[in-house]
Amino acid sequence: MEAGLAGIIRNTPVVTRLWIFLVIGTTTLTKLGFIDHLDLYFNYGLIFRRYQFWRLFSCFFYIAPFGVNFLFQVILLYMTSRRLEEGSYPGRSGDFMFVIMIAGILNLALAPFFKVFFLGIPLSFTLGYLWARRFPMVQMSIYGVLRFRAKYLPWVRVALSFLMGFSAYPDFMGIVSGHILFFFLDCLPELVGKNILKTPDFFRRIFGQLPENQGFDPIFQEINPNDEQENQVEIENENENENENENENENEIVEEEIVL
C-alpha cells in the first residue's frame, strides 16, 4: 500500500503534486483547528482595507471540509491538473505555473459576480475546461457506465454537481474563466499571429523546467482518438498500403486521446 502510494506521488508531475499537497494540507490544518476556514476565503474588503493579502492565495487551497465532497473534488482536481500538465506542459513546470496564475487572476476577477469566495473548485474547473477544449475527442467514462467525449466533460461535471446536491455556481464560473483562458491561449494567437500570454523568462527561471518526460512517468498515453473498431480497420488498411495510410493517418488524428 505504501509502495503504491509512494509510486503515485513519485509519478505525479511536480506542479500537480504541489497543488494537491497544499489543498490536503490546508484542509487538514482547518480540521485540526490550527486554521479557521473563515480566514481563508476571498474578500475584497478584508484584503484591501485590512491588508489580509494572504486571502488572494489561500482561497484557492480550501475547497471543502473533509467528507464526500472533498474527496470528489480532490480526485477531480488531481485528474484535471495531471491530464493538462502531462498533455500540454510535460516537463514545463514554469509554463504550467504561469497558466495557473493567469487562471487564478481570472477567477479572482469573476468571484464577486458569481458570489463564490472559495476558488479552488472554479480554478480546477478552469483547467479542466482548457484540457477538454484541447483534447475534445478523448473517450471518457464514469464507472464504465456513462461514456462521452472530453468536450462534454464540463457539462457532465455540472450535472454531477446538481445530482450530488452541490452548488453549480463554482462550476459555471470555471466554465466562463476557462473559455476566456482558452481564447487568449489558443485562439487569439492564431488571429493576431502573436502569443500575448507567453511565459516570461524570469517565471521559468523561478520555477525551473524539467527535461521532457523526466522527473515523472506519465500515466496517460497518446493514441488514435477513434474507437477500438476503427483502430483495427486502420491497422488492416495500413498493412495493405502502408505508405498511403501513413499520410492519411496524420490528417485523421485530430487530437491525442488520453486513456485512464
Domains of the chain, first to last: 2-207 (1.20.1540.10), 221-260 (no CATH)
pLDDT at residue number 208: 64
pLDDT at residue number 259: 38
Report, as ranges of residue numbers, the positions in the chain whose pLDDT lies below 70. Answer: 1-3, 143, 208-260
Nine-digit cell at 217?
512517468
pLDDT digits (tens, 9 = 90+) for 202-222: 877 777 655 444 444 443 433
Nine-digit cell at 133?
477544449
- pTM of the shown model: 0.78
Instruction: Give the contacts of 68 (CB within 8 A, at least 6 positions apart).
Output: 164
pLDDT at residue number 60: 96
pLDDT at residue number 31: 92
pLDDT at residue number 209: 57
In contact, 99 and 16? CB cutoff 8 Å: no
